[in-house]
Amino acid sequence: MSAAVRRVGVVGGGQMGAGIAEVCARAGLDTVVCEAGATAARAARERVAVSLERAVQRGKLDRISAEDALARLVFSGSLDDLADRQLVIEAVTEGARVKTETFAALDKIVEDPAAVLATNTSSLPVMCLGMATGRADRVVGLHFFNPVPVLPLVEIVSSLHTTADTLATVEAFARDALGKTVIRSQDRAGFVVNALLIPYLLSAIRMAESGYATAADVDAGMELGCAHPMGPLKLADLIGLDTVAAIAQSLYDEFKEPLYAPPPLLRRMVQAGRLGRKSGRGFHTYDRGR
Marked catalytic residue, from 123, 194, 250, 279: 194
Of 89, 87, 49, which Cα lies nearest the Cα of 69?
A: 49
**Active-site hit among 122, 123, 185, 250:** 122
Candidates 155, 161, 171, 279; catalytic one:
155
- The answer to whether residue 143 is catalytic is yes
> Is 171 one of the catalytic residues?
no
H-type alpha helices, 173-256: 193-209, 215-225, 232-239, 241-255
Q: Is 228 one of the annotated active-site residues of the chain?
A: no
Helices (H), the chain: 15-26, 38-57, 63-71, 96-109, 126-130, 164-172, 193-209, 215-225, 232-239, 241-255, 264-271
CA dist 83 and 78 (Å) reads 10
Separation CA 139–CA 129 (nearest Å): 8
C-alpha dihedral, 254 to 193 to 107 to 77, nearest 10°: 120
CA distances from 234 to 55, 179, 261 (A): 22, 27, 20
In the three-class reduction of DSSP (H, G, I as helix; E, B as strand; rest coil), residue 14 is classed as coil
For 17, 63, 238, the CA distances from 53, given in Å and listed in that order, are 17, 8, 20
C-beta of residue 156 within 8 angstroms of C-beta of residue 184: yes
Is 53 annotated in the active site?
Answer: no
CB of 181 closer than 8 Å to CB of 144:
no
Which one from 22, 51, 76, 143 is the annotated catalytic residue?
143
Contacts (Cβ under 8 Å, ≥6 apart) of 59: none
Report which secondary-structure segment, H or E, holds 87: strand 87-90
Would you list the DSSP string of 120-133? Answer: --SSS-HHHHHTTS
Active-site residue numbers?
A: 122, 143, 155, 194
